[in-house]
Amino acid sequence: MQGLSCSELCYLFCCPPLPSRIAAKLAFLPPSASYSVNRHENGDCTLHLGEGSEWQYGDRELGGLEVFTTETRRGNTIACMYVRCTDDPKYTILFSHGNAVDIGQMSSFYVGLGSRIDCNIFSYDYSGYGASTGVPSEKNLYADMDAAWAALQKRYGISPDKIVLYGQSIGTVPTIDFASRFEVGAIILQAPLMSGMRVAFPSTKRTWCFDPFTSCEKIGKVGSLVLVIHGTDDEVIDFSHGLAIYERAPRTVEPLWIEGAGHNDVELYAQYLERLRKFIQKEVGQQRHIAGNSSS
């Protein structure tokens, strides 16, 4: 979602403008796959991490990574990863990662994050990313998220109120879309965007019919508790996007605005983990307790 040249703008706004083409131009940068999934005759899968994954742990942690594939309603096969970080998880995090990475590259981060906040992590690769088939598109993004949720439910039988959705950058798009249709334990939005057009053209004040990723129109339908995290110096998705999403979400906790943080270094700040721990360990449960008392 970087600045566009004149020639790219001409291509982007061909007549008529197509949302799928705009989305592809603005958002999707799938990297070379950092892992492979080997399927055996009995249906089981094994994970092979390549050098591009930059794995930081040992065999014990590697044994906690479970991979498999599942089908989406649009006919693609997506790779999924379940990271067992604790035997007694507070919640399971369904993590939709950012752009230009795959679950192999994110695997070390998942191990570290889950271990520190006492949660297991479930993640997946979008169509056209990692070992997932197909091509990236906005429609595929939503179908991928739905398939990941269904696989998590079917394979592990985790109650929806024990699942926290975590969207990072472009991953906030399917996270908000899903949470606008179904209630979950809570959602975390890191560097969310209002819409594709508002990222490419910051002066955009309205939602056009060809605008992709219109999270600003969907966030108002999210009934679950929301934590928004954003760096004030984000050079990819301006801080104003996070602020607007926070202001439009019906149920929020105190956001985390990290002074001086950019788009890719939020996790390096101490307050990042501190805020996540408070949200997971206290606020989500408190809100569920309050909601339960008010409905009784």
Give CA 117 to chain center in angstroms: 17
Name the residues annotated as catalytic. 169, 234, 263
Question: Which of 41, 70, 55 lies closest to 156 in space, CA to CA?
Answer: 70
Give the DSSP H or E segment for 124: strand 120-124
| Cα–Cα nearest to 148, from 198, 88, 207, 97 | 97
Cα 165 from Cα 185, distance rounded (Å):
8
> Which residue do the tokens 């399971």 mark?
92
Burial class (CB in 10 A: 0-12, 13-18, 19+), 36: middle
Residue type, 227: L
Name the DSSP letter for residue 235.
S
Question: Cα–Cα distance between 262 and 264 in angstroms, integer?
Answer: 6
